[in-house]
Amino acid sequence: MDFLILNEGFRTLSALLVLPLAGAIVLLISSSVTFARLWTLLITTIIAALSLPLYWGFDVSTARYQFGEHLAWIPSLNINYTLGLDGISLLLVLLTTLLMPICVLASWKYIKTRVREFMVCLLILETSMLGVFIALDFVLFYILWEAMLIPMYLLIAIWGGPRKVYAATKFFLYTLAGSVLLLVAIIALYIKTGSWSIPLMMGQEYSTLFQTLVFLAFFLAFAIKVPMFPFHTWLPAAHVEAPTVGSVILASILLKMGTYGFLRFCLPITPAATLTFMPYILGLSVAGILYGGFTALAQSDMKKLIAYSSVGHMGFVTLGIFVLNTQGVEGALLQMINHGVTTGALFLCVGLIYERTHSRELDAAEGIGKFMPIYITFLAFFSMSSLAFPGTNSFIGEFLILAGGFSQSKIVAGCAIPGAVLAAAYMLRMLQRITWGAKSNPHPEILSDLNLREVFTLAPLLVFVFWIGLRPEPFLSVMHTSVAHLLEQVHQATPHLMTAANLLP
Amino acid sequence: MVIESAKPLIALLAPVAGALLVMLSRKTPNLRETWSFLASAFMFGVIVSMVPNVLGGATLHYTLFNLLPHLSISLRADAFSMVFALVASFLWMVAVFYSMGYMRGLAEHAQTRFNAAFALALFGAIGVAFADNFLTLYLFYEVVSVVTYPLVAHHQDTEGYESGKKYILYLTTTAKGLVLPAMILIYVLTGSLDFANNVSTGILPAGLNHTLVTVLYIFCLLGFAKNGIMPLHHWLPSAMVAPTPVSALLHAVAVVKVGVFSTTRVMLYVFGVNTMDALNLGIPTAYFVSFTVIVASVIALSKDNLKARLAYSTISQLSYIILGVALLTPSGIQGGLVHIANHAFSKITLFFCAGAIYVACRKKDISEMSGLGRSMPFTFAAFAIASLSMIGAPPVAGFVTKWYLLLGALQAHQIGIIVVLLGSTLLNVAYFAPVTFKAFFGKRPAGEDAAGIHEAPLAMVIPLMLTALISVLLGIYPDFIMQFVKAVTG
């Protein structure tokens, strides 16, 4: 257990898991719609407040898992209830907890039917998402990983758009297909090591064949989740049909679980296979960056546009992870947070238009700049962030990823550059049409500018856009030690393979 | 000597405050224009207050944000930045008056947006001038691209949108596609993006792969497409659909000078004269931009629309600046840099005249301007003076440039460059002289009569007279700008 620093006193991590569930149960006893909204807002806000001390209390000097909790769960099978937090998961946990109150605020008016059930889904989703990031026991992890699918399925299938059942089923089947292989890999690892503990599975001497098979199983599960090209086709469908908040959670948090999986499992557990497959994954990442960019440029549906831009942005994240150097991985981690902030905000922005015009088409949103100046100001800053304008959060992430990329291989990083150009093209195209448009908007009478509640959903995200963009150090400092430790794990296992990787052009 | 001072930051924030105040006072046009003017005057004042320190050999420095190790957003005011900052901030003051006359004279729409974006464009330009490192330079370079889009597409008609699209497409694609990777690679190679403190050493460590450095250099030269080097110049002529004050200040001073300033800043302070000499990058660059100098002049000859002719003239003249610096001799660099100022004053005069003619009689084509000189003597006199400067005739400012450029070419033993400079001078005469000549000595076209045509409003005529006068003063007393330029080359 030397990987875990046990928590003395208040068990914050358990509280993060239990509170949303308890909140959901309370919701079941009351049928008042207003109570459901207020109660969920209260619960998510309390959780957000509870999670902040995790940042202040976090010890940046150690790569061990902190705030740890360890209880025997099913001793006969050696299954434990182990929780812990390191520099890789800390920011993702905070992103989740801080985003949830915003999601509740954003669905205040948007969700009109079955409000109580909606809020229950959100709370269950919060438990399972947080659990995925802090579980250190594979069984616990897997249960929560799968549990997450159900509320997400319901969010899309009940409160979604016209083709909601199709989209929800596609989402469910894709993710489930990957998860099945994940389960196989987990059981294989258990048979080898006799333990379900994730940290104990790292640094073991597995045979090359075993590593390869486990890696491929992991990879498929996580690549679908990210989603990496060519496993991305479920994403646009799900985003388009999902309610606004569904899209926000999907883009901001669920997609990160794929890349989190790469960092937590693929790299440290199967380092040799990681190095072997690295060039191919870099190739897929670049393909995703370019494919996402070109496809986004051709969309007339704003949600699809942002969905495809996510494919491109997540391509940058996987590129950063698999260049396997400090800048690349830290950039990727930061870009995961950035994408959560920025793309979440962009989906909120699209939702705000949808609530007014009941359309996601760019044509219907043309020329609203004249009527909604506050809205446009927000949209402009978030678009700039999405295209990695210097001074915003995504610039730092992309800069680090590309710097890491260039140190690993000039060709690979060079191939990703057109993706950065495309990002400018599709975001500026969207911004130009929404702000000005070729003609004036056909329905100016329904275009009321943002009210205070709506401003409150966007403003915190804007703060983070510039905070991370101009002072990234507080965000990077928590990951330095953990990332260094992670890369050590990758490189120590297989020094000879690293020289092979250096032969990349 | 480096002095930590917030003055560059104060100068930088003046136009932002101006833009905010302009937006707040959109209901009262007079107050709005007052804010514009006060912001510009304040900014100019702050920049002038830095002159004694800089001339004393000091560099003013201010760090805003530390992003990553050895990577910050920080400002510096040195002799090199002062050349551009002084010119841009002074001409902003003049342009505020001029654009008030122009926009009101034509009763243009969205004047508040126009004025706010105008101020923000100056924010970007001054940010570029005061950038202390490559990243800060890139940041403000991109700011200029984005905030000038509403100015180019101001009319919001099909032509405006098409030009705006072309404008933003050329400028962001080159910046993100070429400058960004070059910048990141330089950071990877050197671990820092801070500019050197002299023009010789650059920041690249010795022993880098020559091909790689050459590629990085080419990326920077072409990536800053605001410098108008062919073949990436097409955005500039199409941006001329913008209202004339935009063409005047932005496309003769702020935007295009941001391009050449960035290019030369990176040539001298990132690569450095020594590296460029060692890798033989200078002279090929000089010949490469010579193509632009000559071809753009030839195209200018073929244009009857006055603003189009001026646009191609700008493309040609901008390459003078890069040509001079690329010669890598002290006189060449001085000639190139002093042209940032000389070209600014003369070219803004020419655009001011074009706008004044349009406001006075709605004429855009040179062929329709015959005989107008007698109705608008002040405007065309200013035009004539500024043309002489473009041609490089003494005693107007452009002569100083030509003198140093020729000297630089001689020092570099480049007969070819001398031929280019002389050839382009003849072409300048060929496309500028007929305009003035016809205006004063030509006849009005059949069926039209000069009666009723008189000078544009004073808010326009006084600025253009002033800039023409300064063009002459810079020719007679070149030392004011030359002292900065000489401090650059040391």
Per residue in B57-99, pLDDT (tens digit) is: 899 999 999 988 889 999 999 999 999 999 999 999 998 888 8
State percent of chain A over pLDDT 70.
Answer: 96
pLDDT value for B372 = 85
A43 membership: H or E segment, kind and range: helix A33-56
**Rounded Cα distance, B341 and B404, in Å:** 14
pLDDT value for A1 = 66
State percent of chain B over pLDDT 70.
Answer: 99
Query: For residue B106, is pLDDT > 90?
Result: no
In chain B, where the domains are located: 281-490
pLDDT value for A133 = 94
Residue A502 phi, psi dihedral angles, 5° rounding: -70, -15
pLDDT value for B468 = 93
Residue B451 at interface with chain A, using a CB cutoff of 8 Å: no
Question: What is the per-residue pLDDT across A52-85, written as a single tens digit (0 to 9) for each?
Answer: 999 998 989 988 899 988 888 888 888 999 999 9
DSSP annotation of A75 reads G
Beta carbons of A406 and B67 less than 8 Å apart: no
- Determine which of A326-335, A457-466, B370-379 has the lowest per-residue pLDDT on average: B370-379
* pLDDT (mean) for B329-351: 92
Block residue for tokens 């919701």: A27
- A284 to each of A318, A412, B202, B291, how far by Cα in Å? 9, 11, 38, 42
* Identity of residue A112: K
Which of A237, A251, A284 shows the shortest CA–CA distance to A103? A251
Taking only residues 84 to 143 of chain B, the set having a beta carbon closer than 8 angstroms to any beta carbon of chain A reads 135, 138-139, 142
CB-based burial label for A56 (10 Å; 0-12, 13-18, 19+): exposed
Taking only residues 124 to 183 of chain A, the set having a beta carbon closer than 8 angstroms to any beta carbon of chain B reads none
Contacts of A428 in chain B (CB under 8 A): 168, 172
Beta carbons of B142 and A390 less than 8 Å apart: yes
pLDDT value for B313 = 92
Residue B65 at interface with chain A, using a CB cutoff of 8 Å: yes
Give how far A481 is from chain B: nearest CA, Å: 16
**In terms of CA atoms, which chain B residue is nearest residue A436?**
B156
Pairing of strands A79-85, B59-68: unpaired
Which of A122, A139, A105 shows the shortest CA–CA distance to A20? A122
Residue A344 near residue A461 (C-beta atoms within 8 A): yes
Residue B151 phi, psi dihedral angles, 5° rounding: -75, -40
Q: How many residues does chain A have?
A: 505
**Rounded Cα distance, A186 and A421, in Å:** 40
pLDDT value for A2 = 77
Beta carbons of B156 and A391 less than 8 Å apart: no
Beta carbons of A420 and B142 less than 8 Å apart: no
Residue B253 near residue B40 (C-beta atoms within 8 A): no
**Rounded Cα distance, B117 and B95, in Å:** 14
| Secondary structure string (H, E, C) spanning chain B | CEEECCHHHHHHHHHHHHHHHHHHCCCCHHHHHHHHHHHHHHHHHHHHHCHHHHHCCCEEEEEEEEEECCEEEEEEECHHHHHHHHHHHHHHHHHHHHHHHHHHHCCCCCHHHHHHHHHHHHHHHHHHHCECEHHHHHHHHHHHHHHHHHHHCCCCCHHHHHHHHHHHHHHHHHHHHHHHHHHHHHHHHHCCCECCCCCCCCCCCCCCCHHHHHHHHHHHHHHCHHHCCCCCCCHHHHHHHCCHHHHHHHHHHHHHHHHHHHHHHHHHHHHHHHHHHHCCCHHHHHHHHHHHHHHHHHHHHHCCEHHHHHHHHHHHHHHHHHHHHHCCCHHHHHHHHHHHHHHHHHHHHHHHHHHHHHHHHCCCEHHHCCCHHHCCHHHHHHHHHHHHHHHCCCCCHHHHHHHHHHHHHHHCCCHHHHHHHHHHHHHHHHHHHHHHHHHHHCCCCCCCCCCCCCCCCHHHHHHHHHHHHHHHHHHHCCHHHHHHHHHHHC
Query: For residue A501, is pLDDT > 60?
Result: no
Across chain A, mean pLDDT equals 89
Pairing of strands A4-6, A65-74: parallel
pLDDT value for A281 = 93
DSSP letters, A200-246, are HHTT----HHHHHHHHHHHHHHHHHHTTPTTS-THHHHHHHHS-HHH
Query: For residue B281, is pLDDT > 70?
Result: yes
* pLDDT (mean) for B398-423: 92
Give the three-state DSSP class for A88. coil
Residue B191 near residue B205 (C-beta atoms within 8 A): no
Give how far A392 is from chain B: nearest CA, Å: 10
Identify the bridge partners of residue B60 per DSSP, sorted by sequence position. B3, B77
Query: For residue B424, is pLDDT > 80?
Result: yes
Q: What tokens appear for B435 in the block?
A: 């305009």
* pLDDT (mean) for A464-484: 92
Query: For residue A502, is pLDDT > 60?
Result: no
**Rounded Cα distance, A62 and A5, in Å:** 10
Query: For residue A146, is pLDDT > 70?
Result: yes
Beta carbons of B169 and A472 less than 8 Å apart: no
**In terms of CA atoms, which chain A residue is nearest residue B63?**
A470
ipTM of this complex > 0.90? yes
Query: For residue A440, is pLDDT > 80?
Result: no
**Rounded Cα distance, A81 and A145, in Å:** 15
Contacts of A473 in chain B (CB under 8 A): 66
Q: What tokens appear for A285 in the block?
A: 């990442």
**In terms of CA atoms, which chain B residue is nearest residue A390?**
B139
Residue B488 near residue B337 (C-beta atoms within 8 A): yes
Confidence category of residue A442, pLDDT binned at 50, 70, 90 = low
pLDDT value for A439 = 62
Give how far A475 is from chain B: nearest CA, Å: 11
* pLDDT (mean) for A292-318: 92
* pLDDT (mean) for A355-384: 86
Contacts of B168 in chain A (CB under 8 A): 428
Contacts of B12 in chain A (CB under 8 A): none
Question: What is the per-residue pLDDT across B345-404, written as a single tens digit (0 to 9) for each?
Answer: 999 999 999 988 888 888 888 888 888 888 888 999 999 999 999 998 888 999 999 999
* Identity of residue A203: G
pLDDT value for A285 = 94
Query: For residue A260, is pLDDT > 90?
Result: yes
Confidence category of residue A21, pLDDT binned at 50, 70, 90 = very high
